[in-house]
Amino acid sequence: MRVYGADDLARARRLLAHTAAGFGLPADRIEQFAVAVNEVATNALVHGNGIGTITITGNDTAITVEVRDYGAGLSAGPGTGLPHPTDIGGRGLWLARQLCDHLDISSSTSGTTVRLAMLL
């Protein structure tokens, strides 16, 4: 699905919750995953030219969400450490890493793809 703003983010969270529940992910893990995906999707909108795509897939071992944006790309190693308390931003990817089981970032000058997974 394409995301352009807050209404689309809410729709994506609902779709993720419905899909994850269908695969049997417990409610507390669905909430954690929804926060992680929301942080990454918000980054896609803010830093990726205002447009992102979200793809949700699942199988018998995991639910995977891929968030793609079309911005200028990220610097190396984003979101790996907790930002300094006085930093205004920089917590979204760090938080997403804490909340899901796997997070992988692929970035180039044509955009960034973040793949998040939650094991069932």
Structure confidence by residue, pLDDT tens digits, 62-89: 999 999 999 888 765 565 677 778 877 7
Candidates 26, 29, 42; CA nearest to 91 is: 42
Identify the pLDDT of residue 78.
60
Query: pLDDT above 70 covers what percent of the chain?
Result: 95
With the CA atoms of 3, 76, 101 and 35 taken in that order, what torsion angle do they form, in degrees rounded to the nearest 10?
Answer: -40
Integer Cα distance of 38 and 10 in angstroms: 9
The C-alpha angle 103, 108, 112, rounded to 5 degrees, equals: 40
Mean pLDDT rounded to a whole number for the chain: 91
Identify the pLDDT of residue 4.
85
CATH for 2-119 is 3.30.565.10
The larger pLDDT score, comparing residue 85 to residue 28, is at 28
Integer Cα distance of 106 and 54 in angstroms: 15
The larger pLDDT score, comparing residue 2 to residue 31, is at 31
